[in-house]
């Protein structure tokens, strides 16, 4: 969509709202929320953030996209909303879960804004991997465990070249898989195929990280397909594979509740 009336255009704010805990946002985002007139909002943004920091008069447009859901709003429609409200002179915020640039469609949105001569500002946020690992007591890199980390998306229908999996099998980096929990069996099978000498590498699945509903499930590559065969993971979930996962039991600190209201992490959040 290409429009040309830019006489009333104001800068569009593209911001990351963090992984879930409403306190994990930047001071700059707080300020920009207070100025917002239209918020075009992702599904995974904690509504408490808008309720607390945005004006009561703000218009919130939910554009949540969801994996494996063909009914989700299209990226083209989101782009059109951004351009439309910016050209109407509204102070627009595009609010994304996590960070704005980790496995999001920010590039499409930037192309649409620049094609219409609409200025923008980008405010980074804490990405899901950083929030989930910190609240699970799993440092993504740690001396003696891992000197690097790789962020990867996984879709079993995608055409993954065998060379990619051979490379992952040889690295000692921590592997963080976004959008993989619904296909954990397929992921484990692929990793085992190429990491046959690393069957006991630990695996963590972290559900609804940094929220009161956070849950951490631990297995190994050898056991996770069987252990998680009948388990349905809540969205969003993140998968961490690597030796650093062994640190969870020692350093878990975040108090969370299970469905019955019982505490299942023993260390209390201060």
Q: What are phi and psi of 166, to 5 degrees?
A: -65, -40
pLDDT digits (tens, 9 = 90+) for 14-32: 999 999 999 999 999 999 9
Show me where the domains of the chain are located. Answer: 12-126, 129-251
CA dist 24 and 27 (Å) reads 10
177 beta partners? 152, 239
Let me know if 76 is a catalytic residue: no
d(Cα 137, Cα 126) in Å, to the nearest integer? 16
CATH homologous superfamily for the domain 12-126: Tetrapyrrole methylase, N-terminal domain (3.40.1010.10)
Task: Please compute the mean of the pLDDT values over residues 55-69 and round it to a whole number.
Answer: 83
CATH code given to domain 129-251: 3.30.950.10
Least trusted range by pLDDT, from 184-188, 221-225, 243-247:
184-188
pLDDT, tens digit, for every residue of 106-165?
999 999 999 999 999 999 999 999 999 999 999 999 999 999 999 998 877 666 677 888
Confidence (pTM): 0.87
In the chain, the N- to C-terminal Cα span, in Å, equals 49
Mean pLDDT of the chain: 88
Q: How many CB atoms lie within 10 A of CB 42?
A: 18
**Percent of the chain that is helix, strand, coil (3-state, to 5):** 35, 20, 45
CA distances from 175 to 23, 113, 163 (A): 27, 33, 16
The helix/strand/coil state of 45 is coil
Q: If pLDDT is split at 50, 70 and 90, which confidence band does 71 have? A: low
Least confident residue range of 169-173, 188-192, 255-259: 255-259
Task: Specify the pLDDT at position 195.
Answer: 82
Q: pLDDT digit string (tens) for 203-218? A: 999 999 999 999 999 9
* pLDDT in the model for residue 122: 98
| pLDDT value for 160 | 67
Asked whether residue 95 carries a pLDDT value surpassing 60, the answer given is yes
Among the listed residues 21, 52, 65, 200, the single catalytic one is: 65
């Amino acid at each position: 969509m290409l429009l040309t009336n830019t006489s009333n255009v104001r800068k569009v704010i593209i911001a990351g709202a963090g992984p879930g805990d409403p306190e994990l946002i930047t001071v700059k985002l707080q300020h920009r929320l207070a100025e917002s007139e239209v918020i075009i909002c992702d599904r995974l943004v904690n509504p408490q953030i808008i309720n607390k920091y945005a004006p009561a008069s703000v218009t919130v447009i939910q554009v949540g996209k969801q994996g494996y859901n063909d009914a989700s709003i299209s990226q083209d429609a989101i782009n059109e909303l951004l351009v439309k409200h910016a050209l109407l002179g509204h102070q627009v915020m595009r609010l994304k879960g996590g960070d704005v640039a980790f496995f999001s469609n920010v590039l499409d949105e930037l192309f649409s804004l620049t094609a219409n001569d609409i200025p923008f500002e980008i405010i980074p946020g804490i990405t899901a991997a950083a929030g989930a690992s910190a609240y699970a007591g799993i440092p993504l890199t740690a001396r003696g465990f891992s000197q690097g980390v790789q962020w990867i998306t996984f879709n079993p229908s995608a055409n993954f070249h065998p060379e990619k999996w051979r490379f992952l099998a040889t690295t000692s980096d921590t592997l963080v898989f976004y959008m993989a929990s619904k296909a954990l069996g397929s992921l484990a099978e692929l990793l085992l195929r190429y990491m046959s000498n690393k069957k006991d590498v630990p695996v963590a699945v972290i559900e609804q990280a940094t929220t009161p509903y956070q849950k951490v499930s631990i297995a190994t590559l050898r056991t996770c397909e069987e252990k998680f065969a009948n388990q349905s993971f809540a969205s969003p979930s993140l998968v961490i594979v690597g030796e650093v996962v062994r640190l969870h039991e020692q350093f878990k600190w975040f108090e969370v509740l299970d469905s019955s209201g019982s505490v299942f992490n023993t260390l209390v959040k201060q």
